[in-house]
Structure 1
Amino acid sequence: MSVAVAEVKVETQVVIKNPVSKSKRWLPLTLVLAVSYGLVLANFPIDVFKDRDNYLNYVLNSDIILSINASAGLLTLFANEPLWLLLNTLMKQVFEPEQAIRFYIFMSATTFSFLFLRKDPGNIVWLVLFLFVPQIVKNYIIHLRQGVAISIFFIGWTLVGGKKRWMVMMLTPFIHASFFFVLILLVLNKFTTRLRLSGVLRISVFFVAGLLFTLSVGYLAAAVGARQANEYAFSAEGISGLGFIFWLTILFVFIFQGASFIKRYSFEVFVLIFYLCAYFFIEVSGRVFESTLFIVLLAGLTMKGWGKLAFLSSILFYSVFSYALRFDQPWLGFGV
């Protein structure tokens, strides 16, 4: 009897002495994949993609833009992504404009993909495929400012806890303005969680919040002097509705997972409802949704059975179909 007890103790000690987590086992592969992703995207030609002239201009003239915004007042300064302008001002001192663009792409794409692949190593094949979903990869090809902000937001979301987590995430609206709304949604979601509202009531609150955003965002942008007030029409003319049907389907799949899933992933459900409420009314809602799409994808991977199968097959079909529609366009629709 004593021998058996001793054997159990020895076995227990061995397990405790040499713990090897799944994430550590996958670390070399995720690092290689992330660096490769960043390197490939950063080494594409600079002048063949949409909006690159705009980003080159930021590197060259952000100090001037920052000065103009500051002279217009603090509200205008902070509403027009001052941290992004400051980053470009610093980049100008270190890099040539094209090198700065490549640096942004490499750092943001590598950081994002590394954190993304580390979240669920057991589904690494699907995570790699998700990196090429059009609304994900475009952040490291054409919407570079948004890609930088997403990578910083993801650092806060993943690596830092408590107040420090919020401090990191609160930097992001000053890089990309969509995160003002992301943070508002986070706070509202946290508030409804503390109130312990029922699932139906929380969904109703989310729906009302989406409608209020739709009605007010244009006025808010104009009131604070945000550049988006002049750059966007705050309408969604010419939208086909296919995206609405697709993401509505994903929302239903999430809801049918039951109350426990909705409670655990309430923010992911919230951003889906928010996006769908504003889909036919304002184009900027898409930018807000794209800033949080990665956490929706991660939530979908946690489902079991038919839900996960429906989710993965839908995302795969959506991505392939999106690329097929743009197959004859330069660089699959990302080019000029």
Structure 2
Amino acid sequence: MRAIEYQGAGGTEVVAETERPLPVPGPGEVLVKVAAFGLNRADVQQRIGVYPPPPGASDIPGLEVSGIVEAVGPEADASLAGKRVCALLAGGGYAQYVAVPEGHVLELPDSVDLVDAAGFMEVAATVVSNLFLEANLREGQNVLIHGGAGGIGSMAIQLCAAAGATVFVTASSDQKIAHCLALGAHHGINYRDEDFVRRTAALTGGAGIDVILDVVGAKYLASNVRALAVDGTLVVIGLIGGAKAELNLGALMAKRARIIGTTLRARPTEQKARIVDEVRRRVLPLLESGRLDLAIDRRFSFDDVRSAHEYFDSGNHTGKIVVRA
């Protein structure tokens, strides 16, 4: 089969097509003929050499795909054969076929475009696991989403608004703020022009933010704690702004706040299956009813994966980028 690999660590010049053996589904797995795969920040981090695949995972990048179940392995549900699905992966998505545990796939509604569905699973699982399962976001709470115009942010805005939360976002331009507001965010903060701590304090009457979803890391740590409400929760899922920072523990304790650090890719199979079940319960009805915008910014061809990475690196995208296989 055709696949994409990284020939070393670096810029888009390391992205190259290769040939790999066709995967064989093992016990409890299905073989998906890939229609498209999503491009995520984790793929870029793997490309530059700072986010290697977990032990046992494929070195082929790609954490989510959509496609058709072509074969079913031993002990897997035979009724999945021929189904339109999307899948959550630890790796291997940049290819024409991928084997995946059956608990990590979702059958897609007929109304959902199969190519666009490639951009659904990773962001939906990330948002559900972090905001709802870890942080226990509830109706009536204030939530701040950093990087609101990206793939994770675009999904988080919609799921938080649907859950009855008041949604605050940060983004780098007025165009990206407009994107966030169109998806249902209540307040947008251009972080190049405004201090999000002061702005959220003003907008909440000094109450602060109950849950913060942060992709920045060290650069925002102290500011995030200041922005939190009493009993608030900060969930750190990215380190764009560095991995090490000093923290005033007194400020954290005074607010009875929690800081949670998580990743999705290396979680055990059983944990991922539970997250996928929660996506099925919480998010799939929104997708099926047309109330969820997959926010696909641009679609690329398999022959143009390098251009897809260049576009991601430019920082100009909003929402998701998908690549047809």
Alignment TM-score > 0.5, same fold: no
Which structure has the highest strand share of the two?
2
Which structure has the highest helix share of the two?
1
TM-score for both structures, normalised by structure 2: 0.29
TM-score for both structures, normalised by structure 1: 0.29
